[in-house]
Amino acid sequence: MHPKPTDSPRAFTVNDFDFVLPPGLIAQHPSAERSASRLLDGSAPTPVDRIFRELPQRLNPGDLLVFNDTQVVKARVFGEKSTGGQLELLIERVLLPAEASDGSLCEVVAHMKVSKKPRPGAVLHMAGGLANGGFEAVFLGRWPDERGQLFRLRLTGPAGETPYELMARHGHVPLPPYIEHSDSADDERRYQTVFARVPGAVAAPTAALHFDEGVLAALEARGVQRASVTLHVGAGTFAPMKTERIDEHVMHHERYAIPPETLQAIADCRARGGQVVAVGTTTVRTLESWARNGETSGDTNIFITPGFEFQVVDQLLTNFHLPKSTLMMLVSAFAGYERVMALYQHAIAHGYRFFSYGDAMLLRRYRSGPVNS
């Protein structure tokens, strides 16, 4: 049993979650096989080095694995202004009709890289523009208000395509900033889980990238149950914290949904004495958001730091995260600050691969809290 922490969230600063990572440990490409990645088993008192395909043997019949079934979209699109200036859009989300100014499904919210921001009403020629087989984006202003850091645009394709169709045809895989190569056909396949179903993410739920059909079959044979949630991962997951005190940080918003069958699966798991195992921090954020607000869909900006009382998740499968990141704080809250920092030092010393295309770690919650059933 891991010790209960005595530090309050206010006792930590962002520098407490820093560590020195040799650049060579940042995975630039996925492993040759999904399940051939390494798995650091941190669920026991002494860390054990394993291969990911051993995961089914580390779980018990009746446990419930909860996946994030979001699908990464090709959200990075290049274009130019009418003046010829080059620009890049990273489309963060497609607005629902109720959110759009004209009630359609053609408005998006995006990050923009450009030397000088356009004025509202300006037409941006994306992927060559309509005249060259691309599409147009009309700049509508900042989002969610005039002080927002994101931008609202209306997209128009040659045949009335949806934003998802336009991204699929003209976009690029939105690889994380620490991956140094341009996206390829291999990235299009491997920066996506095998069970991705609902389009909308600009970053992959990376802990789930290790699963392949062989591991899924082995889990089923062992009697481990499966369920899914949806959280569309935003680019804010890579944004550095700008405050020294972690309690002053404002989290980005991400859209989530939990289907009724997943809520029933969690209740059934509790009834039979099983463990709820979250595949990735995005699944943790989704389930713990529901536990607090009772809403099965909506936006969440939940910020999980040491001292957080978990109500749903018992175990966590996760990749290795960026120094000083909000995800480092989440896993430290889950498994204990000292333990997580020690596990990271073990991983560095033993040559584990880090970040999105890197290896995985299995953690157990170090203290129990109320269960939302």
User: Given a cut of 80, is residue 52 above it in pLDDT?
Assistant: yes
The residue ranking higher by pLDDT, 362 or 11, is 362
User: Given a cut of 80, is residue 11 above it in pLDDT?
Assistant: no
Calpha distance 165→167 (Å, rounded): 5
Q: Which pLDDT belongs to residue 240?
A: 75
Q: Which pLDDT belongs to residue 112?
A: 97
Task: For residue range 188-236, list pLDDT tens digits in order.
Answer: 999 999 999 999 999 999 999 999 999 999 999 999 999 999 999 998 8
Q: Kindly list the structural domains of the chain, giving each domain's residue range(s) and its CATH number in brackets, ordered by start.
A: 9-72+186-364 (3.40.1780.10), 76-170 (2.40.10)
Q: Which pLDDT belongs to residue 3?
A: 37
Per-residue pLDDT band for 298 (boundaries 50, 70, 90) equals very high
Beta bridge partners, 156, equal 136
User: Given a cut of 50, is residue 9 above it in pLDDT?
Assistant: no
Q: Which pLDDT belongs to residue 249?
A: 87
Of all residues in the chain, the percent with pLDDT exceeding 90 is 86
User: Given a cut of 80, is residue 116 above it in pLDDT?
Assistant: yes
Per-residue pLDDT band for 6 (boundaries 50, 70, 90) equals very low
Of all residues in the chain, the percent with pLDDT exceeding 70 is 95
Pick from 310, 300, 327, 334: which is nearest to 246 by CA? Answer: 327
Beta bridge partners, 362, equal 41, 317
- Give a three-class secondary structure readout of the chain: CCCCCCCCHHHCEHHHHCCCCCHHHECCCCCCCHHHCEEEECCCCCCEEEEHHHHHHHCCCCCEEEEECEEECCCEEEEECCCCCEEEEEEEEECCCCCCCCCCCCEEEEEEEECCCCCCCCEEEECCCHHHCCEEEEEEEEECCCCCCEEEEEEECCCCCCHHHHHHHHCECCCCCCCCCCCCHHHHHHCCCCCCCEEEECCCCHHHHHCCHHHHHHHHHHCCEEEEEEECCCHHHHCCCCCCEHHHCCCCCEEEECCHHHHHHHHHHHHCCCCEEEECHHHHHHHHHHHHHCCCEEEECCCCCCCCCCCCCCEEEEECCCCCCHHHHHHHHHHCHHHHHHHHHHHHHCCCCECCCCCEEEEECCCCCCCCC
User: Given a cut of 70, is residue 367 above it in pLDDT?
Assistant: no
The pTM for the full model equals 0.93
Task: For residue range 153-192, list pLDDT tens digits in order.
Answer: 999 999 999 999 999 999 999 999 999 999 999 999 999 9
